[in-house]
Chain A
Amino acid sequence: MKTILFFLFFAVLGVDTLQGQSLKGQVTDVQGVPIFGAYLYCIKQAQQGTHSGLDGTFTLPVCPEDSLFCSFLGYEKQVFGPEIWSEDSILIILKETALTMDLVEVLGKDPVLEDFSVKKLERLDVYQNPLAAGDVLKALSSLPASTTLDETANPSLRGSDPDRSRVVLNGVPIYQPVRNSQLNGLGNFSLFNTEIIQREYVYASNPPLSVGNTSAGLVELETIDQLENRQFNIGLSLANLGFLYGQNLRDKGLVQVYGNYQFSKPFLWANPLLEGLNSFGNTDLGIHARYQLTDHWATSFFLYAIQESYSVNVQVFDYSGASEASSRRLFAINSWEWSKGNQQLAVRMGVDRQGTDFSLGILQSEGQNQRQYYGVQYRWWPRPHWNVQVGADFQAFKNASQDTFPVFFYAYQPGAPLASRVREEHIVFGELYAVAKRNWGERWSLGVGSRANVFSTETPWYVSAQAALRFQPKAGQRWLLSAGQYHSVATSNALRAGGSLLKSQQLALDYEWEANRWTWSTAIYAKNDQGGDPQRFVQQDLEGTRTWGLELGGQYEWHRFWRGQVSYTFLEQQQISLDGTISPGPRDLRYFIRGTLEFNHPRWLNASIFVLGRDGQVYTPVIDGLYQPAAKAFAPVYSPALNSRRYEDYWSVGINLSKMWILQKCRVLAFLNVSNALNRANQRGWILQGNYRNQEPDLFQLRTLYFGTIWSLLAP
């Protein structure tokens, strides 16, 4: 950038006649605001200098044949040749240094619309979260916006199905981001090691359109780009043996390698209340690396492989027996980033392959899933307060399965009629998008975005659009008004093929006030989701759901070591069937209360207790069973009133304890968690037996104990 210099000619004088005269002028910034305190002096006679006054004006004795130097903090320094003295009045316009520096270094680390995230969590926040158990996705369950009801880590945000939300790692979507995702109640940890995550942005609704294929919320994870110290951790717990090693690569990058071997026998021995769970286990390996190749080029890479399995006894309709599952998964994501000055270009790629085996009674299924993602984005800061990003995404899913399944959905017992099928689906789509953000200081910012598919094998043409306005009246306070229309493509599952279009219109107002010791947050929102899964086993196709919700949350800290949090969520949800029938939605909740009390004394103990309480989920009751000779089983007769009943209220109390010691060159952390400490029988369904007139509650996990230790080698 070059300084703009305007010469105002009032007189032209020879240099030899200048001795004893003075030069007058004014120093301003590009907006014409006078710069006070700019230093002006003759280079050869530095003592002959002056500073601009409050109105930016100055008077400087002429120094013939010398150069004039003008500088001020935060602005480009300027030198003017001896010809400057031939003027008797000048206007010097200085440009801010910030415009000339590498803006990407300062601003490019955060997503373009990060201002519009409801919550930004650092790694430390995850570790300190009593509900997170150190997991980046479990950490979301403490947010008032979380409406996850099944005790898994798969995030449901503001009443939407998890399939509508997206989790992205370094800009690449990761589908099914939890372990043992096929098993209810066990997919309670994400695939991500928290040690590789720098921060996560949670967009509870109105996800930024810089990321596609989400029609609910978005969780954006970023891996770390620099380690504070070399890492070498070994963890041993009731169900896991793991390690992590990480080190910086000559200040230009880092590499982290980790692995876990999960086993079930000690855990099952210590938790006899976990009836029905026969075994579970997994082995995983992750490699994360980042390297700055040149001043302008950087690359990052994450490779993850996992093999997992479980065996559990289940009762499905009239069948009681073992269900077994195993899966093998490998995914890799890679990004290449080029940045210079105020521009950034990134190319991102992701490949995800998964093989699954599942059996339940006469149901046998083998599946192969492949997902590919390719994206390119260009980001530009024409000014520090302006940011524009454009890009293109391409995604391809190939799902193949070979199934033997019961002809009647309620007849799993041996001898029941069987059918088989080979299914293969290809879903391919590409999208273009543009988003822009404008800041007015720290107080106001406005973001807009649009995204459209340019081709698709399954869905019609669509356009998503959004706008978000953020207002920060003073430090710590924030209002966020956001609205938009969003689209995503349904992924396939056991009930239906993927590829159908999901649509959502959303409006949300979020408010947060963060003071030194307390934080208060409120949100009110409405959304209209179209498309989606039919209710399981109830043969009713849905047009969509309508939702509105209210969230209130507060946090208070006292006596340095104590913190309490409480939140309340109200969510009214209606689902609309294709025939126009309106019934309560699956996440209709009159109350969802979360409370935590924490004591954190680094030398003594870290202890926390948390309480979750909410309405039981709505369900459609089975009112009778009719014996079907062809099926050799009873067929359930569902009530015509969808979701007309509600399970008992859900309440759960958890306790966490941890303590850290320094033993010579090691930091040792010991931890103990008790879930559902009061052993409450929380219902998640009904076990249907015989002719279905006898029904027993199917329960969430009863009291569960987990403990372990992590040893970390302190870097020299």
Chain B
Amino acid sequence: MKQFIFQIKLLMATSLFLLFIQCRSELLAGPSYSSQLQENPVTDSLLMHIEKKIQKAFVQDLLAEQNSMLDQLGRQLAASYEQNGQNLFLYWQAYLHYYEAIFYLQNEQGEESEKAILTGIALLYNLATKNSEDYALLAMMQSFSIQFVSSFKAAGLSAKVKKNAEEALLLEDQNLRAAYVLASNDYYTPKAFGGGKETEKYLTMALEMPDQVQTNPYLPSWGREETYDLLIRHYIKEENWAKAKEKYAEGHALFPNSYRINQLSGKLIGQ
């Protein structure tokens, strides 16, 4: 179990670093976050490409070492939800809390990170009816929260992650993010507890799914880059070098600026 928790921590730390590097390069190349916000007053346009907005706010905050942009965006989302009552605002609030949790963890504020992730989980958990994306994000956030629970609850929470991700796939069998979360949960479950057997199956499934079942700038599209990253690492762990290189080439072609994929090249050289 300790190994399991250590692996999750390692994954989080690595992901944080890679996300930071990648987003930082995007941020430097693109318009500033504050100018974007001015262009997007609190209307329905707030949700236009909201996923990218949250990611960029996260990087902005990491650079500034304060949680102001995420907080500002979060307050806008909360106010919009109060006005309109659309569950979609809650989804993005939860997604924002996920990034807040990562931010706090990066700044070694474990308790704040735990609070943020639990707030996000509660938002989704309390939804009267959940759609496939709600379940997928809920599962991913619960997976993140495993690092904060005791060894008594870790296995049970992992089972909840699996159940919610399966629910997401049941509701929408082409949900890439659900398949990714299932794979991730399996990858980080120790073999002694039955993990590691379905990682490849779910990641391969995920890659065959579209980023979005219904093309929509208001809806989530994350997951493909993460899927390539995890699949390459899975093949490296299994020492299946041919497949690792094949997926690396595919992932690199799709995400040439992805630091998390690019940094894996070092492990493939000479194999």
Contact = CB atoms under 8 A, between A and B. Distances in A.
Interface of A: 33-37, 39, 51, 53-54, 71-74, 77, 96-98, 101, 105-106, 122, 124-125, 128, 228-229, 384-385, 440-443, 474-475, 516-517, 557-558, 560-563, 598, 600-603, 660, 662, 667, 714-715
Contacts of A563: 150, 152
Given A54-B44, A516-B114, A601-B2, A39 B155 contact: no
Nearest to A97: B171
Nearest to A599: B151
Q: 10 nearest interchain CB pairs? A: A74-B131, A602-B1, A441-B128, A37-B218, A557-B150, A228-B194, A475-B122, A36-B86, A71-B214, A54-B44
B194 A37 contact: no
Contact of B129 (A96, A125, A517): A96
Contacts of B28: none
B44 A39 contact: no
A171 B223 CA distance: 41
Given A442-B125, A602-B1, A715 B151 contact: no
Nearest to B153: A557
29 contacts: A34-B84, A35-B86, A37-B218, A39-B214, A53-B44, A72-B216, A73-B132, A73-B213, A74-B133, A74-B171, A97-B131, A97-B172, A98-B129, A101-B170, A229-B197, A440-B128, A442-B126, A442-B127, A474-B126, A475-B122, A475-B126, A557-B150, A560-B150, A600-B151, A601-B1, A602-B4, A662-B192, A714-B191, A714-B192
Contact of B149 (A35, A98, A516): A516
B87 to A, nearest CB: 9
A662 B192 CA distance: 7
Contacts of A560: 5, 150-151
A420 B188 CA distance: 67
B156 interface: yes
A373 to B, nearest CB: 31
Contacts of A96: 129
A475 to B, nearest CB: 4
Interface centre among B47, B114, B129 (most CB of A within 10 A): B129
Given A74-B171, A660-B192, A662-B192, 8 more contacts: A36-B88, A37-B86, A442-B126, A474-B122, A517-B150, A560-B150, A601-B1, A603-B2
A98 B1 CA distance: 37
A51 B217 contact: yes
Contacts of B151: 560-561, 600-602
A37 B219 contact: yes
Contacts of A53: 44
Interface centre among A39, A122, A440, A662 (most CB of B within 10 A): A39
B193 to A, nearest CB: 8
Interface of B: 1-5, 43-44, 47, 80, 83-86, 88, 114, 118, 121-122, 125-129, 131-133, 148-153, 155-156, 159, 167, 170-172, 191-192, 194, 197, 213-219
A127 to B, nearest CB: 10
A33 B213 CA distance: 23
B219 A384 contact: no
Contact of B132 (A34, A74, A558): A74
Contacts of A72: 214, 216
Contacts of B83: 54
B126 A441 contact: yes
Contacts of A475: 121-122, 125-126
A475 B160 CA distance: 15
A72 B213 CA distance: 10
B2 A105 contact: no
Contacts of A440: 128
A414 to B, nearest CB: 56
Contacts of A667: 192
Given A37-B47, A714-B191, A124 B132 contact: no
A662 B1 CA distance: 13
A561 B1 CA distance: 10
A39 B214 CA distance: 8
Contacts of B167: 106
Nearest to B118: A516
A39 B212 CA distance: 12
Nearest to B85: A33
A662 B150 CA distance: 22
A106 B131 CA distance: 12
A442 B121 CA distance: 14
Contacts of A98: 129, 131, 171
Contacts of B149: 516, 557
A440 B172 CA distance: 24
B128 to A, nearest CB: 3
A562 B153 CA distance: 11
Contacts of B126: 441-443, 474-475
A516 to B, nearest CB: 6
A442 B129 CA distance: 9
A36 B84 contact: yes
Nearest to A122: B156
A602 B2 contact: yes
B128 A442 contact: yes
A442 B134 CA distance: 15
A561 B150 contact: yes
A73 B219 CA distance: 8
A110 B83 CA distance: 36
B124 to A, nearest CB: 10
Contacts of B170: 101, 105-106
A73 B128 contact: no
A65 B127 CA distance: 40
Contacts of B43: 54
A557 B151 CA distance: 9
Contacts of A105: 170
Contact of B171 (A33, A37, A101, A602): A101
Contacts of A35: 86
A422 to B, nearest CB: 53
Given A36-B84, A37-B216, A37-B219, A229 B194 contact: yes
A442 B125 CA distance: 8
B21 to A, nearest CB: 30
A98 B128 CA distance: 12
A603 B1 CA distance: 7
Interface centre among A36, A443, A662 (most CB of B within 10 A): A36
A501 to B, nearest CB: 41
Contacts of B194: 228-229, 715
Contacts of A101: 170-171
Contacts of A54: 43-44, 80, 83-84, 86
A558 B151 CA distance: 10
A517 B131 CA distance: 29
A662 B3 CA distance: 13
A11 B84 CA distance: 31
Interface centre among A77, A229, A558 (most CB of B within 10 A): A229
Contact of B44 (A33, A36, A122): A36
Contacts of B132: 73-74
Contacts of A385: 128
Given A36-B84, A39-B216, A603-B1, A557 B148 contact: no
A157 B86 CA distance: 45
Contacts of B191: 714
A570 B62 CA distance: 54
Contacts of B121: 475
B148 A516 contact: yes
A73 B214 contact: yes
Contacts of B192: 660, 662, 667, 714
Nearest to B119: A475
B134 to A, nearest CB: 8
A39 B215 contact: yes
A231 to B, nearest CB: 10
Nearest to A127: B155
Given A98-B129, A560-B150, A77 B159 contact: no
A136 B87 CA distance: 40
B118 to A, nearest CB: 6
